[in-house]
Structure 1
Amino acid sequence: MNWDTRLSSILTETDASVARIKQRLNTTSISSKVDLLLDRINTEDAAFDESLARSVQPCPTCISLPHCRMATEELAAIRRQLHSQAKIVESLTQSVNRLKQERELQQQRINKLEGEVHRLQNSPHSGLESLLGHRIEGLKSEFHNLQQQMFHQPDGDCTPDVYPSSSILQEMHESKKLLWQEYECVRTEVEQLKHTLNRQEEDLFHQMSATDEMKGTQSRYCKMLEDLMNSYRAQSHDLDKAKVETRSTQQELGHVKSTVTDLKDQMKSLCLEKPLMKLTGKKRARQKSMKDSLREEMFTSSVIDDSSSELSLTDVSSDELSSTTEIKEPEEHLRKAMRMLVPWKPSPPFLAGRLYAVTSRQL
């Protein structure tokens, strides 16, 4: 049930209660007339008893007469009836007074409920309470107008045809029961409103705490993200350095490859320019040992320089080097070739030194 339906139901119930209060106020006006009538009856009964007591003084002569005796008996019966009626009237007045007291109690309860409604109206949730407060103010003004009409009503026109005592008591009891039920309904509605307000306050508090927790986690995540960004920048800087180093290494490898290819070309040109001479067995063995030692030295130097370059002097095929086994060249030709190779080669200096040492040792 939403607020609109609840408000409409509360307003309809208040309208019905106001209508019932109007009816009861009409009955209370009748009860005020009954009070006036009972007061008049009591005064008239007292005056009649006094006049009867003064007028009725039995004389000794009338007591002996039968018609005087019958008149006294009738007077006694009338007196008894009047006393019984006076008792009934007194009980009715007591019941009416009790009903007045109950009405005052109900008025006090209504005032308490109005105070609670006013307190709820002054609460922060004044959207619904403002409309309800205006309606209650209208009902209060109407109720006060009805009270003023009841108090300023003329006392005349008191008709003697009032309800019997049992019907009046039953009606008053029913009205009391209905008022109590209405009071219970209004109190339950007020309790429900209090409960809903407390629940809304708790929900708001939980939402505020959840938002605070979310803000804390967001700040932590922002800090973590900043740290990750800083680490990423450092890693990217290191990666750039590594790229520069790899480029320089690749350039050096390119220089080494170009040097090796130039050496191959020079060896081929030397092999083609020199005349072919048959070597003796001793010189052939010396050339062969020189070739093997040169191959081993060049292979080990290339492996030591850079293991990742995947470049070795074994690229010089055995077919290309086999042509050198047939060459007979003297010491001055080899030295001239080494002098030509050493200043021209752009490779590291220790490679030329090793080549020169190997050739000189073999020679």
Structure 2
Amino acid sequence: MAPLKASAIGPGVLGVDRSSDLEVARGTGTDVARKIASMGSNVVVSATRVALPGINVRVTDKTLTVMPDNARRAEPHRGDGKGDPNLPAVNDDPRVGTVLPCTIKALKGNTGRNTESFDPASTLVRPSMRVVVGPKKRVFDKVLKHDDVVVVPDFFCAEDDWSIYYKLIEEMRSIQSAGQSKSEWIPWAEGCHLISQNPTGCPTYEDVLKRTGEYFNMKQGSQGTRFNWYRDSSDWKPFHHDSAAYNPHRARNQNITVGVSFGSERELSFLHAKNGSRIYFPQTNGMLFAFGRDVNINWKHGVNALANEHFSGKGRISIILWGLAQDVVEEPDSPPLLTNDARNGFDNSNHRSDQRGDRGRSSHTPSNDGTQPRRR
């Protein structure tokens, strides 16, 4: 058959290619002509096929189907082709060798009444937040990404063993009694809880920092630290971003926030900076908790207050370590650093938050970072 101009295709229906049961689109013959003409010059029509560079148009009776040459086909199910060496090879999967309904629906772009998508590729996207349960080992040996929140229960001790909590307080009071400069407790976050600017010389604190930095393979010299004491059940922490979310210098050296909790269980809360969604995580005695750079940008975090009826008199210590985890996998489409406009330019107390933020340099090098937030 001689080549024809696209406009001369004539009546037809752009619809179903019955040979693959793949529906692409429907339309009149004019629609077909317009679609093909937009893709380029001449069309070669045979008894069963219309050929055009970059396009595949099948002809079945008077039905035309237009699709890219590289369109996926409904292939029979074969599994992952790997197999489990610890399982005997038994052909007990009835799906093998058949074209699955979900595959056909995925190729059609169909959804279900209660199904978002049948295309497995639709799940291969970055989340707002990914929760990872870390191993109780010397090092974190899983893939680490900037969207990750890592939880490791009982990392330092059993949940019901409060000995480290009381030991930390004992050691802190010892160095404070000895007159160590800036080791005393001072109010922080407008008085919501206490911190010590300089816990240096507290052996248990030093051990926590060492083990935590090693666990995430943090670059030496990149760390900032904080010793928080939630003195009793009335203390809490307002929502905020750590300053690496908006401070370019910090962002170059710190891509992870790690906290270790001792004492009374509290809730670490996350507030999505754009849509206001909230997620609450328990912080139990001895637990390690970490979140990545992009979590810090996309979410604010804090420690929820307790209702009066839940007051117990018990406190909580939170030892924080910020640093550069060297094994994080970079992914495309990470969010940019926040600007004052993006974070509204205010902290939870409606004060300008262009101070250093709720984090300082390492407590081993005391500075004015430990003073209360400055007002302007």
- TM-score by structure 2 length? 0.18
Question: Which of the pair has more CA radius of gyration?
Answer: 1
More strand by share: 2
- TM-score by structure 1 length? 0.19
